[in-house]
Structure 1
């Protein structure tokens, strides 16, 4: 891959930089591209062009924005194979995961256009009938989005989907670890006819350079997908003026498997989600709490199901798990496993770095006899390690599930409907799935506590890109 294939999008033009940084294929450890490292003038240009782009885009009715957005989605799909190959190279994803990642981008573009047609703008009755009161929703302004590396194109879709549909202008900064497919998609925005400045995409490995995106008074919304630490830091930096925030941050999802659960179904469901994307998923099961009466059976079922996973990247058939994003993350996760074992946990599957493989692979790992005091359950693992914790009737398992600073997602398995509904009501998380893992673009996604504020997906995300203005008009004396 040549360096000049990857340029930033600023004011409708593809822009290079005298300074670059490297992007590495995690399946091989090899550098596959050099990417522009934005300079201060690029940040200034992106902010200025987004202001002008917002003026143009927000003035266009949805009937004019819609065909441009849909043309963009169609154009992306025409380049699907090329984009997915790039995505696989920079992430190490198996092909089916990469196809899902790509598909969520085009799905978001189409979904939010349709959702914008149904946005709620109600009339509010006036007690004496003298005044007509109604709600007016209008584009909010310039949006800045900082994105994570685990699902590069899904994350782009979560941000530019509602931004374009609402009539906003966006400056997107993809992760420096995985910017390539995102830059290719940004390049196609020009061909699709999206006006200059409406979508800008910059790449940088230096937050001192990009901080003006946060501190600018011209930015109306800062949105982010990333860790809690990074989110808190970014919001602190951004509080130089009043801004809106929508940030999806860290997770530490609890799983409760009650004694009456369908053990095989629960084990397979949890394993499939845990090892998807090599465990690098914000909603991944992190604290799997299983009742003592079914504990051994659950461990056996989970282990048997996970044994069918092979390590590979790209277009390979079967149940495949790719590498971790880099050596630093792999070292951190191996350290968590080692610490747990030293404190009494037992590895029942995996736990090793495969020999003779140049990529950043780690075997699918399952631990039993895990204690809630161990670091790998107190903190987000973000890797292919499933800790299984035994609880008893003497434990308040809901309290255990809630005993964490995070509150992004949770999972409950039981055949008792009342018990499942009560658990869903009492667990403090932005989403709770009972008996089946279920996510979709039509469903709000976001956290409580230190897992963030605001929502991605659904009409609830779209409203964050719109003002809520009350208008009152006298209609009689």
Structure 2
């Protein structure tokens, strides 16, 4: 598969194999960009800006609909690439695919709600018009955990706003994004509006960040990576939009629906093998129900079907690679060595010793002295923290983190739910359930991000404000 630059699928100097983490088999290869191709992609986006940004909103929407239609026609192929490059269960690939369709549809419509604004002049001598214009070239770095969903978060608003975009998918899951590049070429998308290249983070990623061409850098990744991109991008004044690491607390009070709480916690922790920024990281249960909740979670964990089979009813696939497997196993062993209890899982699931599968795992008695208690897990481990009794104290414990992406509360007391929502210092607070959609803002605070993904608010990152003030009487047009 070839990089997509300036409206064409281009030749490349070297290739890289892509491996399925479920069986360690090579399932494809992509063309890698070198520094020359990286510069070519940036310059193609820069050259496209005057025309792509000037195209009427309705015409850009038509191109987005054309790409959406091509994606719909190729659903099976795109989902297949996600399936094999992540080892993701076939049913779960639908979420990746559908978010890309939804994003193109949503932003093609939402951009048309951006209108000029008029401000009254206190002296009555001028008219003032406020307009919104594309920020310029955007460079997007995508995480591997949701290949098409992460692409959707960036592609939709960038295209709608009129910002040419250079997209760098992860080397671990580039096939589905490169396939979208093939569709862009197939429909004849205007040259340079979208460019897709892949290469090493150290060389290609840093070259993109350091270039003065992008006016905005957007990222889905770890907080550490976000800091690196900001440092590297400081060669010029740029705008940043980043969804970074999470450390989501879950507060389960004594009056909660425990089956519902267990269902949500397990769905988030074992879906995508726990490789989700918003996955529960620390589960705090009230002392009166902690044992019962833990038992329900263990029962669900033991019934998770792990594997890689398109035709089977699989709940969970592998971790992304052996390095991730070793890190997760190290977290489990550290916790157990420090006094935590392994209640389910740990290590390879039976019969799945090949690949990067890790058993759905539940550990109780986790404390802040253990790595599990302070690190973002990003794997299928449910950490049951020490039970709590006091609401104020547990809110303080939940907030005791530099991350601020998502928090969860389970209670039947609406007043308590409101108190917790106000007190929790997170960009999202989910109460008695979980819901994500393209029209709902996805936002982190503290060290979990800058800007917004999804919803109409995401367009603010891709648009700049311009004021045009006109003297109503030229002779009297003073300051």
TM-score after normalising by structure 2:
0.96
Q: Does 1:422 align with 2:409?
A: no
Q: Which residue of 1 aligns with 2:192?
A: 197
Question: How many residues are treated as equivalent by the alignment?
Answer: 472
Instruction: Write the distance in 2 (CA, Å) between the matches of 1:115 and 1:24.
Output: 38
* Structure 1 pair 314–149 and aligned structure 2 pair: CA distance change class (3 A): farther
Q: Does 1:296 align with 2:291?
A: yes
Q: Which residue of 1 aligns with 2:470?
A: 473
The one of 429, 434, 438 aligned to 2:435? 438
* Structure 1 pair 407–126 and aligned structure 2 pair: CA distance change class (3 A): same
The one of 13, 17, 20 aligned to 1:18? 13
Query: Do 1:174 and 1:182's aligned partners in 2 also have CA atoms closer than 8 Å?
Result: yes
Query: Do 1:94 and 1:316's aligned partners in 2 also have CA atoms closer than 8 Å?
Result: no
The one of 325, 343, 347 aligned to 2:342? 347
Q: Does 1:46 align with 2:41?
A: yes
Q: Does 1:35 align with 2:30?
A: yes
Deviation at 1:305, TM superposition (A): 2.1
Deviation at 1:97, TM superposition (A): 1.1
Q: Does 1:150 align with 2:145?
A: yes
Moved more, 300-309 or 380-389: 300-309
Instruction: Write the distance in 2 (CA, Å) between the matches of 1:317 and 1:324.
Output: 19
Deviation at 1:369, TM superposition (A): 1.5
Q: Which residue of 2 aligns with 1:241?
A: 236
Deviation at 1:214, TM superposition (A): 1.1
Q: Which residue of 2 aligns with 1:410?
A: 407
Deviation at 1:208, TM superposition (A): 2.0
Q: Which residue of 1 aligns with 2:358?
A: 362
Deviation at 1:76, TM superposition (A): 0.8
Query: Do 1:88 and 1:314's aligned partners in 2 also have CA atoms closer than 8 Å?
Result: no
Instruction: Write the distance in 2 (CA, Å) between the matches of 1:130 and 1:344.
Output: 74
Q: Which residue of 2 aligns with 1:374?
A: 370
TM-score after normalising by structure 1:
0.96
**Unmatched 5+ stretches in structure 1:** 1-5
Deviation at 1:262, TM superposition (A): 1.2
Query: Do 2:46 and 2:164's aligned partners in 1 also have CA atoms closer than 8 Å?
Result: yes
Query: Do 1:447 and 1:453's aligned partners in 2 also have CA atoms closer than 8 Å?
Result: yes
Moved more, 450-459 or 354-363: 354-363
Instruction: Write the distance in 2 (CA, Å) between the matches of 1:426 and 1:317.
Output: 43
Moved more, 346-355 or 411-420: 346-355
Residue correspondence of structure 1 range 319-330 to structure 2 within 5 A: 320-330=315-325
Moved more, 10-19 or 331-340: 10-19
* Structure 1 pair 206–391 and aligned structure 2 pair: CA distance change class (3 A): closer
The one of 213, 218, 232 aligned to 1:218? 213
Q: Secondary structure at the match of 2:23?
A: coil
Instruction: Write the distance in 1 (CA, Å) between the matches of 2:284 and 2:472.
Output: 61
Instruction: Write the distance in 2 (CA, Å) between the matches of 1:206 and 1:291.
Output: 43
Query: Do 1:21 and 1:205's aligned partners in 2 also have CA atoms closer than 8 Å?
Result: no
Query: Do 1:442 and 1:457's aligned partners in 2 also have CA atoms closer than 8 Å?
Result: yes
Deviation at 1:463, TM superposition (A): 1.4
Residue correspondence of structure 1 range 267-278 to structure 2 within 5 A: 267-278=262-273
